[in-house]
Amino acid sequence: MGSWAVVTGATDGIGKVYAEKLAKIGLNVVLVSRSPEKLKAVENEISAGSNVQVKTVAVDFGDGNHIYERIEKELQGLEIGVLVNNVGMAYKNPSYFLEVDREDHAKIINVNIFSCVMMTNIILPQMIDRKKGVIVNISSASAMMPSPLLATYSASKVFVDYFSQALEREYKDKGIIIQSVLPFFVKTNMSKIKKSSFFMPTPATYVDQAIGTIGVASKTFGCLAHALQGFVVQGLAPDWLVDYVSLKMHIDIRKRALRKKQK
Ligand SMILES: NC(=O)c1ccc[n+]([C@@H]2O[C@H](COP(=O)([O-])OP(=O)(O)OC[C@H]3O[C@@H](n4cnc5c(N)ncnc54)[C@H](OP(=O)(O)O)[C@@H]3O)[C@@H](O)[C@H]2O)c1
């Protein structure tokens, strides 16, 4: 039957490319994402481009606890070698904490944090039984420093990063690779970036490099351009400057978004 990779948030952006690339190297893939139509389209695309099996599970990770029983059932009997916890949700635009609905804060926590914990909890035991497996958790460069106007989002990504690092130390002796990935901007729907560049790559360019770091780095910015940005932010720029730039950038993006909404 062969080994499977499970990818959450697999119908667009970074997650879709992970799914495509894992299929290209011969893994069957389970796509776990929200929209059934998009799942069908990606299933067809992957099936047309490779000889692997593709299975889809339509769930909204924002819904919280009750979805995991169904996910666990759908995954029963599959030998899962790779889990990519990619699904993520951010604010529509950078916003002050009280401008974001309470419901959206809860959804961000469910989608970004709870999904990562629960999917790992479902899949890790069989990896431990086989003494091998790979778990890739997509955090964010916004976990490196406090990100004003993205408070709940960036704090959720700190969780993902620390969760990964702690598990990596717990389970590396058991043959499990656990990786935390911290992208800066990638051209996707979430980032709303319209044009890619060296520092804001397409998901294809980004994942192409990020996937090569599995088993090499337990924590990575994922691609060369982002490693350079990380070096500047962590190693060269003083904290006050990073704070100033981050606050100003998010206030400016918020203002532009509000102006656009008013038009
Ligand atoms: N793009 C960036 O600049 C950037 C930077 C740092 C970190 N990241 C992280 O990278 C990861 C992927 O981001 P992306 O930019 O590739 O996002 P994206 O292009 O917006 O894709 C998100 C994927 O997740 C699915 N999804 C969203 N909400 C969901 C939910 N509630 N339940 C189930 N599936 C859901 C979407 O499916 P539907 O379309 O059906 O909703 C889509 O397949 C996220 O964890 C994000 O935080 C991204």
**Number of neighbours of residue 91 by Cβ within 10 angstroms:** 20
* Token representation of residue 188: 């996707």
Q: Is 52 helix (H, G, I), strand (E, B) or coil?
A: coil
Q: What does the pLDDT read at residue 237?
A: 83
pLDDT band at 262 (very low <50, low <70, confident <90, very high): confident
38 lines ligand 1 (CB under 6 A): yes
180: part of which helix (H) or strand (E)?
Answer: strand 176-181
> CB within 8 A of 105, min separation 6: which ones?
152
Tokens 């009750």 appear where? 66
* Residue 244 appears among annotated catalytic residues: no
d(CA 262, CA 152): 25
Per-residue pLDDT tens for 12-34? 999 999 999 999 999 999 999 99
Q: Which domain holds residue 43?
A: 4-262
58 lines ligand 1 (CB under 6 A): no
d(CA 155, CA 163): 12
**Long-range contacts (CB closer than 8 Å, 24 or more residues apart) made by 91-97:** 91/149, 91/150, 91/152, 91/153, 92/257, 93/253, 93/254, 93/257, 93/258, 94/149, 94/150, 94/250, 94/251, 94/253, 94/254, 94/257, 95/149, 95/254, 96/149, 97/151, 97/152
d(CA 176, CA 169): 10
Per-residue pLDDT tens for 187-198? 999 999 999 999
| Ligand 1 pocket, mutate which of 11, 14, 199 (most atoms under 8 A from CB) | 14
Per-residue pLDDT tens for 205-250? 999 999 999 999 999 999 999 999 999 988 898 889 988 888 999 9
Task: Give the number of the atom of ligand 1 that is nearest the alpha carbon of residue 160.
Answer: 45
| Ligand 1 pocket, mutate which of 158, 190, 193 (most atoms under 8 A from CB) | 190
pLDDT band at 1 (very low <50, low <70, confident <90, very high): low
Look at ligand 1, atom 46, and give the residue with the nearest C-alpha.
88
140 lines ligand 1 (CB under 6 A): yes
d(CA 236, CA 42): 41
Number of domains the chain is built from: 1
116 lines ligand 1 (CB under 6 A): no
Task: Give the number of the atom of ligand 1 that is nearest the alpha carbon of residue 90.
Answer: 47
What CATH number corresponds to the domain at position 21?
Answer: 3.40.50.720
Q: Percentages helix, strand, coil for the chain, rounded to the nearest 5?
A: 55, 15, 30
Asked whether residue 154 carries a pLDDT value surpassing 80, the answer given is: yes
**Catalytic residue among 18, 153, 171, 206, which?**
153
Q: What is the mean pLDDT of the chain?
A: 96
Q: For the chain, what is the radius of gyration of the CA atoms?
A: 18
* Token representation of residue 33: 């994402």
185 lines ligand 1 (CB under 6 A): yes
| Ligand 1 pocket, mutate which of 6, 8, 12, 16 (most atoms under 8 A from CB) | 12
Q: What does the pLDDT read at residue 2?
A: 82
